[in-house]
């Protein structure tokens, strides 16, 4: 199992989520939180990306199905990470290198901007198809970032958006070739590195107060019955 890693690059940090499906196991969540601790301690703009075929497939459903008694704790950990990224005191951008599904797509949504590979990979909220309703916090996060029409279409249909279509409906801000993706993301946030971290954090906290409050609410997910 791969875990997130953080490296400095060109006046920013690049947080690489891993080189597998990058599902949110408890160990993965620990590593992601530790990386964000470092960003907060020594603030620089942040690029979030993956390696290979996946950006992230989100919740570790295999772990969750075998630890059903810990579902509330686990979802709280995931929502805590989403809320934290949402109000990070630095500019953030997701460089979506491959498939971003479910909570993995929400992780990208929690970033200030989203750039997506133009030729491969899908962005998808599959909850309607896998019979797992959104928590109030997860729904609020998505609704804070896209138009009401795009929220309805993406959340209730399970549609898989390629890069160009995701850009057209406002899910992502730009698309790029795989070789240029991280460089394009860096070019978006590095020039903003002189912004005061406390001010940026306060602005985001005001913008996303409803989503942050709902992400802080305890609650598990409703798993489909076999």
pLDDT in tens, 74-131: 999 999 999 999 999 999 999 999 999 999 999 999 999 999 999 999 999 999 999 9
Indicate the pTM of the whole model: 0.96
β-pair type (99-101, 123-124):
parallel
- Give me the residue spans of the domains in the chain: 5-215
Fold assignment, 5-215: 2-enoyl-CoA Hydratase; Chain A, domain 1 (3.90.226)
Q: Is the pLDDT of residue 220 over 80?
A: no
Note the pLDDT of residue 218. Answer: 77
**146 touches 113 (CB < 8 A):** no
CA distance 114 to 166: 10
């Amino acid at each position: 199992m791969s875990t997130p890693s953080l490296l400095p690059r060109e006046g920013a940090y690049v947080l690489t989520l891993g080189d597998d499906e990058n599902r949110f196991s408890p160990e993965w969540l620990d590593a992601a939180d530790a990386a964000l601790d470092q960003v907060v301690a020594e603030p620089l703009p942040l690029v979030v990306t993956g390696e290979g075929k996946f950006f992230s497939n989100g919740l570790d459903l295999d772990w969750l199905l075998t630890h059903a008694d810990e579902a509330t704790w686990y979802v709280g950990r995931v929502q805590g990470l989403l809320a934290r990224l949402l109000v990070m005191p630095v500019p953030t951008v997701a460089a979506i290198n491959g498939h971003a599904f479910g909570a993995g797509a929400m992780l990208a949504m929690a970033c200030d901007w989203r750039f997506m590979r133009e030729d491969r990979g899908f962005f998808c909220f599959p909850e309607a198809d896998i019979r797992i309703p959104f928590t109030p916090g997860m729904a609020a996060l998505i609704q804070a970032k896209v138009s009401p029409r795009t929220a309805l279409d993406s959340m209730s249909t399970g549609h898989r958006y390629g890069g160009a279509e995701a850009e057209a409906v406002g899910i992502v801000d730009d698309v790029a070739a795989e070789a240029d993706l991280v460089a394009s993301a860096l070019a978006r946030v590095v020039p903003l590195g002189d912004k005061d971290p406390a001010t940026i954090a306060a602005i985001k906290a005001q913008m996303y107060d409803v989503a942050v409050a709902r992400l802080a609410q305890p609650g598990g997910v409703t798993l489909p019955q076999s």
